């Protein structure tokens, strides 16, 4: 249950707990809380546990330069670290930070890992049961791994063929399409979850974690089937926030291991990543002629520049673009054919 915020003391005294409480009062997502606290801890340890209130621009500049020069971090990583430290001083400590002078990390635009349609089919052939269904859902709907695992029964709308993504990246909601080919398998999964939930209720369990204090607003919702995870874990575990024993969703590492094994068995010489199926979803839609704006909405990108990265990995073979090398080979082949014809005629 590492995606559930741990409970804080009513009156926290330790610095990091006070910072976490401030972040939660600002309504930031748990992922943002984890990211900010990680980089603020690194900043403090880099400066030998000196309190941030006793530091200023000089320490910030030295830390950011160290990330770029010695740690060779990417520009996005350095920017995230800067955002965390800026929040620490401006929002939490109420101190202005002047213009900083530090070495900016080199911007490296990495192309996404994309599997071809044949490679996706081969990987799926090496997956079974719920893991195959999960990857089919990621590839068919363009879901992130965290979005997939956070799906509840109520988020799959079979009548409109929509999947509702709640609190995705940036804490935004969106809808994406539901593949027709997996509807029957999803309906069977819902029936399985229903039977599992009935069994949990009979044994004195059946509660599920609800975010944003929804358990106080809707006291009975935690026991309703609609709120149960679409892909529940095999065991019941203790919630780090409330101490209540609940059935959470499958851990992300479980799916990652299955994908690693399937890609290796498929003999695909590309990195084995769950996120590659989301990249493949976007790339194959682009190859099929769908516009970037539609793909942007399905993926939930706030900036279309993020979606444009897929134009660099799209298969151009079906777009009428012929490599000069292929054209040269075709000319040589025509010459060879003509020479053979005349040689045969003369012979």
pTM: 0.78
How does pLDDT run across 284-321, given as a tens digit for each residue?
999 998 999 999 999 999 899 889 999 888 876 555 56
Active site residue 275: yes
CB burial of residue 4 (10 Å; 0-12, 13-18, 19+): middle
Active site residue 144: yes
pLDDT at 167: 78
Provide the angle, in degrees to the nearest 10, between the axes of the packed helices 252-266 and 129-141: 90
CB atoms within 10 A of CB 34: 14
Active site residue 301: yes
Q: Which two tokens stand for residue 165?
A: 């993504």
Burial 169-190 (b: 16+ CB within 10 A, else e): beeeebbbebbeebeebbeebe
Q: Which stretches of the chain drop beneath a pLDDT of 50? A: none
pLDDT at 105: 87
Active site residue 169: yes
66, 169, 174, 251: which is the annotated catalytic residue? 169
pLDDT at 331: 66
246, 248, 278, 284: which is the annotated catalytic residue? 278
DSSP-assigned letters across all residues of 136-176: HHHHHHT--HHHHHT-BGGGEETTTTEEEEPS-TTS--EEE
132, 144, 246, 247: which is the annotated catalytic residue? 144
How many Å apart are CA 135 and CA 163, to the nearest integer? 15
Active site residue 247: no
- Return the closest-CA partner of residue 281 out of 137, 75, 107: 137
| Domains recognised in the chain with CATH numbers | 15-92 (1.10.150.130), 113-314 (1.10.443.10)
pLDDT at 286: 92
pLDDT at 317: 57
pLDDT at 9: 86
Active site residue 278: yes
């Amino acid at each position: 249950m590492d995606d559930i915020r741990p409970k804080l003391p009513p009156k926290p005294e330790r610095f990091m707990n006070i910072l976490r409480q401030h972040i939660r009062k600002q309504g930031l997502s748990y992922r943002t809380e984890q990211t900010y606290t990680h980089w603020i801890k690194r900043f403090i340890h880099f400066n030998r546990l000196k309190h941030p209130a006793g530091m200023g621009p000089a320490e910030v500049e030295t830390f950011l330069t160290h990330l770029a020069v010695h740690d060779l971090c990417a520009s996005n990583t350095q920017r995230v670290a800067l955002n965390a430290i800026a929040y620490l001083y401006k929002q939490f400590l109420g101190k202005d930070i002047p213009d900083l002078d530090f070495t900016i990390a080199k911007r490296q635009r990495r192309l996404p890992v994309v599997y071809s349609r044949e490679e996706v089919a081969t990987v799926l052939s090496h997956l079974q049961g719920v893991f195959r269904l999960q990857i089919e859902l990621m590839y068919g709907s363009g879901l992130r791994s965290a979005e997939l695992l956070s799906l509840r029964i109520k988020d799959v709308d079979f009548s409109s063929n929509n999947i509702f993504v709640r609190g995705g990246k940036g804490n935004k909601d969106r809808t994406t399409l539901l593949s027709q080919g997996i509807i029957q398998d999803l309906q069977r999964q819902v029936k399985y979850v229903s039977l599992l939930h009935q069994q949990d209720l009979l044994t004195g369990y059946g509660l599920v974690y609800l975010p944003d204090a929804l358990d106080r607003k809707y006291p009975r919702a935690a026991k309703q089937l609609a709120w149960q995870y679409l892909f529940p874990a095999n065991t019941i575990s203790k919630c780090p926030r409330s101490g209540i024993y609940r059935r959470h969703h499958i851990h992300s590492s479980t799916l990652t291991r299955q994908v690693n094994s399937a890609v290796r068995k498929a003999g695909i010489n590309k990195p084995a990543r769950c996120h590659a199926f989301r990249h493949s979803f976007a790339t194959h839609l682009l190859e099929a002629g769908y516009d970037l704006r539609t793909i942007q909405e399905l993926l939930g990108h706030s900036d279309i520049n993020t979606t444009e990265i897929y134009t660099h990995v799209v298969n151009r073979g079906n777009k009428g673009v012929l490599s000069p090398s292929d054209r040269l080979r075709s000319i040589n082949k025509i010459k060879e054919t003509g020479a053979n014809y005349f040689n045969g005629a003369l012979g």
